[in-house]
Structure 1
Amino acid sequence: MAAPSPKAVVMAASDEFDGSLEGIDRYLEYFAETATWEFSPTAENPTWVRIEGKEAARTLYKQIYDRVRDGVSTVHDILEDDDRVALAGTWESTTTVQVSDIPAGTRRRHDFVTLFRVSDGLIVRAAQYGVTPQVVNQMR
């Protein structure tokens, strides 16, 4: 049986990502053990972040998503070219703790584009380009 297309792998991974700790584990099943992640600078984090290896990514994701609830990931567009996939999407969630100067209970939206590379049915690289999350609804 042939390996699924790179686009199918990325879509399956994206479908699993809901920001829950269990969802993070399901999402990471689609990545190679030695995969790399890169995140572009934002106003909240002004330097590039590079993560090497699935376990390091799991640690980072769990630190980040342990501070939010009610996450919704939406794919707006997805393009495939050979082993590369570009996905444009939105992540929206509610903070459970204060993040920088944003109080707990704030609904935030993060628009992003992630470029993936897939090899042998697993994601080996993800580079995410995003903007500083926007406040959707702030609790007072």
Structure 2
Amino acid sequence: LKKVPDDSKAVIICKRDSLYRKIRKIWDTLPDTFSERDIEATYNILIRLTNVSDAQKQAHIDSINKRAHRNTPPEKNAVPISPVNNSAQQTAASNASAPQNTAPPVCPRCGSPLVLRTAKKGANAGNQFYGCSNFPKCRYTNNIENRKDTP
């Protein structure tokens, strides 16, 4: 910030309490980019695309997830897990012989499969948790309640 001149038109430096005023001033001084006609035409295109069935919406989401994760390399030492609900997490974690013929659960943030991991450092070292297979892009984790230090 020391190298940015105060009179720069490309950069605006302000404190948090004056941010709204600065944005409002820019908004009021700049000309509109789209005319009312352009906005109406865009709205008419988008409204047709939003009036679709739930199945079509889900197919669209699945297509996006498939394209997003097509080039993601498999993680080292990642073990896919079977889907479990919150009440069954403890029994599934302790029962390693449970069949895993169903699809792994997905990350609620990005839609990637969750994998079973073991913490190597810190206070939780040795404890297992579910982590997103899209790490480090997505850092979602879900702790498993079975701790190694509990009897």
Query: TM-score, normalization: structure 2?
Result: 0.22
The structure whose RCO (Cα within 8 Å, separation 6+) is larger is: 1
Return the index of the structure with the highest Cα Rg.
Answer: 2
More strand by share: 1
Query: TM-score, normalization: structure 1?
Result: 0.24
